[in-house]
Amino acid sequence: MAHARTAGAPARECAWCGRRFGSGDERRAGRIRCSACGVATTSPWPGDEQLAGAYAAWYRPAGGRFSGAGDAVLKRTRSALASRLHRVLPPGPVLDVGAGDGTLVEAFRRHGRQAAGVDPYAAGGSPHVRAAEFEDIDGAWSAVIFWHSLEHLRRPVQALRHAAALIVPGGVLVVAVPNAGSLQARLFGDRWLALDLPRHLVHLTPPALLTQVRDLGFQVERVSYLRGGQVLFGWLHGIVALLPGHPDLYDAIRRGHARQAPQRPALRLYALAAAVAALPLALTGTLLEAATRTGGTIYLEARRQDLSGEWFRHHFMSMP
Ligand SMILES: [Zn+2]
């Protein structure tokens, strides 16, 4: 399992609220759940070298990650996201945090909107994506987007605070993260797709995320448990992983060179066939999650309210 590759010291404090772990915090495979804020922190806490290895070329190869139509589907869904956000965001530049190869940034630019990305693991695929840490980025932005990237950051709350400092009044924060409080997370436990150890460092719940975003002075305008994507696939992956031999569907749909471990063709075929058979059950699970608002991802749009708080301090108090 993925967390077996995680070496290093156990996490000492909650990566979300900063509280020091004690005997009252629940230890689970590869993570510790904070009894104060409900967020789980990956443990052992991976070192820089180990994370660099976990993001090595196989994770996002230049030739594409997925076989068949997978990469094209990914590009189309990013394009749809950009089109929708372009309509609802105020005019001005947008910043995509954890931009990867720049698919979302390029989609915004096709609408004629100024857009840039930041990603410490950027491989130089797009001239508009800077290989840097988010906290080194400055400027005034109409929107900052964390599309499945917040959970990869070592200091996620500081990152949100930094975003609050960069977003102009009336601007929008967009976040999509896996929902560790979802039905599928609870059902599939240690085999849940979106645990993704050791790359995911925090495992968030809706109350923890929403409270933090509001505390930073944002008005939450939209919360969706489907829009963040990966909900149906999370079910498919989880159901297939319950079968004998625990086939890894996520690896099965990746191109040969983009897999974590070599996979025998027969096992790959077995995983794919099982996914087809599991589709009706996975659809049922997805609908159930949608109806009960416990979906596998949390998506939110939140608007920056006024000149108070982080934005004011950042832009005016720091002047000489
Ligand atoms: Zn905590």
Mean of pLDDT values over 44-50: 90
Compute the distance from residue 18 Cα to the ligand 1 centre, in Å: 6
Compute the distance from residue 147 Cα to the ligand 1 centre, in Å: 22
Nearest to 296 by CA among 207, 230, 249, 240: 230
In the prediction, which pLDDT does 246 show? 86
**What is the residue whose two structure tokens read 């004629």?**
112
pLDDT score of 58 more than 60: no
Give the mean pLDDT of the chain.
88
In the prediction, which pLDDT does 304 show? 93
Q: Which residues contact 223 (CB under 8 A, 6 or more apart)?
A: 206, 210, 298, 299, 300
Compute the distance from residue 35 Cα to the ligand 1 centre, in Å: 7
Express as a percent the part of the chain with pLDDT over 90.
65
- Tens digits of per-residue pLDDT, 210-250? 999 999 999 999 999 988 888 899 999 999 999 888 888 88
CA gap 47, 24 in Å, rounded: 25
Compute the distance from residue 185 Cα to the ligand 1 centre, in Å: 18
Q: Which residues contact 257 (CB under 8 A, 6 or more apart)?
A: 58, 61, 63
In the prediction, which pLDDT does 53 show? 83
pLDDT score of 1 more than 50: no
Compute the distance from residue 184 Cα to the ligand 1 centre, in Å: 22
Compute the distance from residue 8 Cα to the ligand 1 centre, in Å: 20
pLDDT score of 3 more than 50: no
Compute the distance from residue 308 Cα to the ligand 1 centre, in Å: 26
Compute the distance from residue 235 Cα to the ligand 1 centre, in Å: 27
Q: Which range is least confidently modeled, 38-52, 224-238, 251-265?
A: 251-265
- Tens digits of per-residue pLDDT, 166-181? 999 999 999 999 999 9
- In sequence order, what are the beta bridge partners of 248? none
- Tens digits of per-residue pLDDT, 80-120? 999 999 999 999 999 999 998 899 999 999 999 999 999 98
Compute the distance from residue 299 Cα to the ligand 1 centre, in Å: 21
- Going edge to edge, which strands form the sheet with 31-33? 26-28, 31-33, 40-42, 202-203
Q: For 283, phi and psi rounded to 5 degrees?
A: -65, -40
Give pTM, 2 decimals. Answer: 0.86
pLDDT score of 314 more than 70: no
Burial of 201 (0-12, 13-18, 19+ CB in 10 A): buried
CA gap 39, 57 in Å, rounded: 30
pLDDT score of 317 more than 80: no
In the prediction, which pLDDT does 133 show? 94
Compute the distance from residue 81 Cα to the ligand 1 centre, in Å: 31
Compute the distance from residue 102 Cα to the ligand 1 centre, in Å: 32
Express as a percent the part of the chain with pLDDT over 70.
86
Tell me which residues have their CB within 5 A of the ion that is ligand 1: 14, 16-17, 19, 34, 36-37
- Pick the more confident residue, 124 or 149: 149
Compute the distance from residue 201 Cα to the ligand 1 centre, in Å: 13
Cα atoms in the Cβ-side hemisphere of radius 13 Å centred on 269 = 3
CA gap 162, 155 in Å, rounded: 11
In the prediction, which pLDDT does 77 show? 83
In the prediction, which pLDDT does 41 show? 98
Provide the strand spans (E) within 70-139.
94-97, 115-118, 129-130
Compute the distance from residue 15 Cα to the ligand 1 centre, in Å: 7
Compute the distance from residue 99 Cα to the ligand 1 centre, in Å: 27
CA gap 311, 85 in Å, rounded: 22
Compute the distance from residue 151 Cα to the ligand 1 centre, in Å: 14
- Pick the more confident residue, 261 or 155: 155
Q: Which residues contact 317 (CB under 8 A, 6 or more apart)?
A: none
Compute the distance from residue 12 Cα to the ligand 1 centre, in Å: 11
